[in-house]
A and B are shown apart, each in its own frame.
Chain A
Amino acid sequence: MGDNANALVIEGLKKTYKGGVQAIKSLDLTVKQGDFFALLGPNGAGKSTTIGVISSLVQKSQGSVNVFGFDIDKQLEQAKLCIGLVPQEFNFNQFETVLQIVVNQAGYYGVTRQVALERAEQYLTQLDLWGKRNAQARQLSGGMKRRLMIARALMHRPKLLILDEPTAGVDIELRRSMWDFLKQINEQGVTIILTTHYLEEAEMLCRNIGIIDQGMLVECTTMKALLSKLNMETFILDLRNNVTQTPDLGNITCRLTDSHTLEVDVAKDHNINEVFTLLSAANIEVISMRNKSNRLEELFVELVEKAKEAK
């Protein structure tokens, strides 16, 4: 017991399903205590299988998994006590009420009913579900169901919260409020592992990132280090005047997407002021500017493509 520095240590993990599908080829991963860690990867990369193994829903073929120093082969119950799981799909009984779902879940972890009711009020209030406590789960909206799964996972006060695409299908306003809540939980000391397809979400929340593809870890580093690898950024400039010809910006590539929109590719070490100086000289006035795409998304695609090419 008791590896305080690491919340999760996975070594040599392999998983081959009965049909012969090798979901995890070989995975080594360490998540530090208190981290907000993003586990990214395309569909079928092995993220959910990895989470399944950690939470003991999937039997591993080989390797070891330690949760806060507890080996899941030898100290499974202690390891389970440390983990709170928010699965990708709604897996509660749709006919049970919100309160029954969270209180029962606490009970499975040995939390008394009285304590469970107190915690239920706390988390359901924080997640704006207290007013729906007596509603059946099937009567909730998609966003409410997602929040219910988060509340359920927190009922036994886990040290490690694993969220498998927690904001899938949730509108942006709600997603942002969930981000705030998760940040708060993380600040209170809960280690969070997040898988998501919204890369903006990972960039916004996570300090460290692991990218998994075809059952292997293709990158594991800090978010800052990963983003610094980007050497080119594309900006979209909204122009005030009508421009018919692509301006000459010297060695900076640009293209007109329509008469009022210009896309400019700027190298990371390039001074962006130069772009504006050149545009000003050409009598082109810029009224607004934004990134063309999520930077992390570009990197993600690049890394996954590289991994494929390497094979």
Chain B
Amino acid sequence: MNPLYLIAFKSILTKEITRFSRIWVQTIVPPAITMTLYFLIFGNLVGSRIGQMGGVSYMEFIAPGLIMMSVITNSFSNVASSFYSAKFQRNLEEIMVAPVPHYVMIAGYVGGGVTRGLIVGCIVTIVAMCFVDISIHHLGLVLLTALLTSMMFALAGLINAVFAKSYDDISIIPTFVLTPLTYLGGVFYSLSLLPDFWQGVSALNPVVYVINVFRYGFLGYSDMSVPLSLAIIIGFCAGLWFVAYYLISRGIGLRS
């Protein structure tokens, strides 16, 4: 990368990290509290009556999904709210008037989302370790999946923000799309429990692949083919990147 672009990338990334760090009570703490409650209620209280799932305790089974759920939500919302705010308050113009290539701008914002997603993921993992013994079957796969997933949803957040015309628009997608996809993505259950038809429907949900690969990284157990799931995640990342690049380079929602 051109050294000037690298400096520009670092500047955007630093700005993004500074932003969510400044409001850490809103960005970092709530997911830790929410996930603690999930572990306490679903894992400890309800989970103890469910018994085993996928060959492990219910608490162990849901831990990777809950970690990934926080990564997904935080990566998405960080970029969606930050990029939309910058657009709405017009401070995105600071970057738009500068010789920053579009891919650097996207990488900077997505980098911010990925960083927050991974930080929150680490915190939730630490919370999970208070409730259950976390064993890692394949560390590389865990890290790779976390990175790719945070990238994928950070890109989705960016696309959402490009189209958003009000703050309502950046909460509609998380509420009506992201949350259902996550809850129906196998965080709390094994897909093998579903009838064939719903297993087929679930195959259309990208979150299913994310959670399965991630769970495989921790437990060595997956409902679906790991290489296929990884390929689908990479495919989604690439697809979303091209969509984001197209939108930004055309100035859609940004330039009149």
Interface residues of A (CB under 8 A from B): 17-18, 52, 55-59, 76-78, 80-81, 83, 85, 87, 89, 91-96, 100, 103-113, 152, 156
Contacts and interface: CB of A to CB of B under 8 A. Distances in A.
Contacts of A83: 97
A107 B8 contact: yes
A107 B96 CA distance: 13
Given A93-B86, A95-B22, A108 B95 contact: yes
B29 to A, nearest CB: 18
Nearest to B11: A107
Interface string B236-256: 000000000000000100011
Contacts of B10: 107
Interface range, B side:
20 to 34
Contact of B93 (A76, A77, A87, A113): A87
A104 B256 contact: no
Q: Is the interface of B mostly helix, strand, loop or mixed?
A: helix
28 contacts: A17-B256, A55-B97, A56-B97, A58-B256, A59-B256, A83-B97, A87-B93, A91-B89, A91-B90, A91-B93, A93-B91, A94-B89, A95-B19, A100-B15, A100-B18, A104-B12, A104-B14, A104-B15, A104-B94, A105-B94, A107-B7, A108-B11, A108-B94, A108-B100, A109-B8, A110-B5, A110-B7, A113-B7
Interface of B: 3-5, 7-8, 10-12, 14-15, 18-19, 22, 86, 89-91, 93-101, 251, 255-256
B255 A91 contact: no
Nearest to A17: B256
B99 A91 contact: no
B75 to A, nearest CB: 21
Nearest to A18: B256
A58 B255 contact: yes
A112 B3 CA distance: 10
A203 B146 CA distance: 61
With a 10 A CB-CB cut-off, give which of B86, B94, B98 has the most chain A CB atoms.
B98
A109 B99 contact: yes
A266 to B, nearest CB: 47
A91 B94 contact: yes
Nearest to B95: A108
A152 B89 CA distance: 17
B129 to A, nearest CB: 34
B89 A110 contact: no
Nearest to A78: B99
Nearest to A107: B11
B231 to A, nearest CB: 36
Contacts of B90: 87, 89, 91
Contacts of B5: 110
A77 B94 contact: no
Contacts of B3: 110
Of A94, A100, A152, which is in contact with the most chain B CB atoms at under 10 Å from its CB? A100
B255 A109 contact: no
